[in-house]
Amino acid sequence: MTTTPTRRHHGLDLHGLDPAAVVMWHPSTSQLYEHAILRGDGRIAEGGPLAVDTGTFTGRSPRDKFVVVEPGSEDRIWWGEINHPLAEAEFERLRAKVVAHLDAQAPLYVVDAFAGADPAHRISVRVVTGSPYHALFSKTMFIEPDAVELETFAPQALVLHAPEVEAVPAEDGTRAGTFVVLHPTKSEVIVGGTFYAGEIKKSIFTVMNDRLPLEGVLPMHCSANVGEDGKVAVFFGLSGTGKTTLSADSTRSLIGDDEHGWGSNGVFNIEGGCYAKVIRLSAEAEPEIFRTTHTYGTVLENVRIDEHGVVDLDSDAKTENTRAAYKLEQIANALPAKRAGHPSAVVMLTADAFGILPPIARLTRDQALYYFLSGFTAKLAGTEIGVKEPQPTFSTCFGAPFLPQPPAVYAQLLGEKLDGHGSAVWLVNTGWTGGPYGEGHRMPIQATRRLLHAALSGELDRADYRADAVFGFDVPLRVPGVETSLLDPRSTWRDPHTYDVKAGELAELFRENFTRFADDAGTAVTAAGPQG
């Protein structure tokens, strides 16, 4: 549906916008394809996806993320290295620049959608942009309204997206030309200086991470699925830990792959699409996701395609962070409602490149909060200049860049949900075994899938366990279908003594990191971490 505006027809004047040219209101996928191609913003790859290049920025710019200091939210914001303060006057100055730019766009694209599949906790979102492929990304990633909902649509959150607009740090209070600014009380986001589409998605996730706790709902950086028995599992994890891959299980229905809320009615997807990392994606190991990369409607970011339009998922010529945005419905076993009951299992994924952690461990309630607040994974050697060995990464709540409020707020909510619903909690290492990165090998995905099946089916409830000498959590001794030696990482190392030394070093990193949370977490949770 498109219209040529009579002035004020679209209600954009409510946002201070006064577009001079055509406004594409709820443009179709085919229209956005056509406009992107005519502008030279993308190419159609074999199978039908739209392949685009995000320019200089191939990932988020966390150092350029700001939160407006304003009376309605100032006291609840977690100020610091995650949420950089920006004065309201500076926000208004930047906003005026963005509005002036958008008013001059021909055409201007408006996408109205929802965030949150649970009607009790959803918000209406409006994205305004001059870029057709970013409009398609927004249309793909959020939940589309039906015709009746569009008639009465009233936006509760607004994204003004102008990637061509750059800030002037000396006058705008920014660090550089790039800016992603949230005004919490207005639920407005302005984006400039970056074409990376993920900033749109994660900005609204940040809005939800601020709003949902005020409603007693836990927002989660996780994937989720549900079995035929109605048992729900959520999978917390940072990028590269297997959140998307492991939730796309053909024997279970997919609720979503990245952002969810856990409210009084159970788990619900915040999004309407998936945003999967696709570097070296395998048709054998991840057939469902692989198929989307060769499908009409998918947006491929920074994925190489040759002169014939053939997709090369193995190429990292542009970046390791190649991405595909696609509708959840492209996954054959996706759950149409995008919501289900309360989780019977909570899985925390970590890609331990040190080869120390077992492939699966059962956590107590206090251990669950400890590892949730820790949010551990490892950065691999070779991914950044100067990184010669794996480096530990602690991203609290498995999503620190998206938390406007202090971590203790989310940990308290998780504790309440675990107490209220008796969910089992598992720590799963999808990283290395047999030694660290460069010596050992990646945990076999078949073993990980088998262990998860055993955990989610209740099979591990009947297993025998050992208490890990260093980390304290329980590790199963035997699981049918899994090589027994994998369950004891120490036995897979050539030199057990070296394992002991490295395990002690990793435990000390955990303890040192947790000093930031000890006061808020309390004695019991702090004591639930590694002691050896």
Q: How many Cα atoms occupy the beta-carbon half-sphere of 458 within 13 Å?
A: 5
Query: Which residue in 239, 315, 319, 364 is the catalytic one?
Result: 239
Query: Which residue in 10, 97, 126, 243 is the catalytic one?
Result: 243
Residues forming a β-bridge with 351: none
Give the pairing type, strands 84-87 and 65-69.
parallel
Q: Determine if the peptide bond prior to 404 is cis (ω within 30°).
A: no
| Residue 394 near residue 375, CB atoms below 8 Å | yes
Only one residue has tokens 């407005």, namely: 188
Q: Give the dihedral of Cα atoms 194, 277, 337, 10; nearest 10 deg.
A: 20
For residue 520, what are the contacts with CB-CB under 8 A and spacing of at least 6?
Answer: 406, 407, 408, 411
Query: Which residue in 304, 323, 342, 490 is the catalytic one?
Result: 323
* Gap between the Cα atoms of 377 and 349, Å rounded: 8
Only one residue has tokens 């929802």, namely: 114
Query: Which residue in 258, 352, 366, 474 is the catalytic one?
Result: 258
Q: φ, ψ for residue 101 (rounded to 5)?
A: -65, -45
Q: Does the annotation mark 280 as catalytic?
A: no
Q: Does the annotation mark 121 as catalytic?
A: no
Q: Does the annotation mark 352 as catalytic?
A: no
Q: DSSP assignment, residue 179?
A: E
* Gap between the Cα atoms of 305 and 266, Å rounded: 41
* Gap between the Cα atoms of 30 and 10, Å rounded: 22
Query: Which residue in 10, 139, 221, 379 is the catalytic one?
Result: 221
Q: Does the annotation mark 526 as catalytic?
A: no
Q: Determine if the peptide bond prior to 19 is cis (ω within 30°).
A: no
DSSP string computed for 52-119: E--TT-SS--GGGEEEEE-TTTGGG--BTTTBEEEEHHHHHHHHHHHHHHHHT-SSEEEEEEEE-SSG
Query: Which residue in 97, 126, 134, 202 is the catalytic one?
Result: 202
| Residue 242 near residue 349, CB atoms below 8 Å | yes
* Gap between the Cα atoms of 297 and 327, Å rounded: 8
The angle at the Cα of 208, spanning 379 to 163, to the nearest 5 degrees, equals 70
Q: Does the annotation mark 239 as catalytic?
A: yes
Give the pair of three-digit tokens for residue 321.
Answer: 């962070």
Query: Which residue in 10, 35, 60, 134 is the catalytic one?
Result: 60
- What are the angstrom distances between the C-alpha of 287 and each of 63, 85, 249, 365? 35, 43, 10, 35
Query: Which residue in 61, 244, 247, 298 is the catalytic one?
Result: 244
Rg (CA), the chain: 23
| Residue 78 near residue 406, CB atoms below 8 Å | yes
Q: Does the annotation mark 97 as catalytic?
A: no
Q: Does the annotation mark 388 as catalytic?
A: no
* Gap between the Cα atoms of 308 and 202, Å rounded: 33
C-alpha 481, offset from chain centre: 31
| Residue 475 near residue 466, CB atoms below 8 Å | yes
Only one residue has tokens 């709003």, namely: 211
* Gap between the Cα atoms of 413 and 477, Å rounded: 32
Residues designated catalytic: 60, 202, 221, 239, 243-244, 258, 323
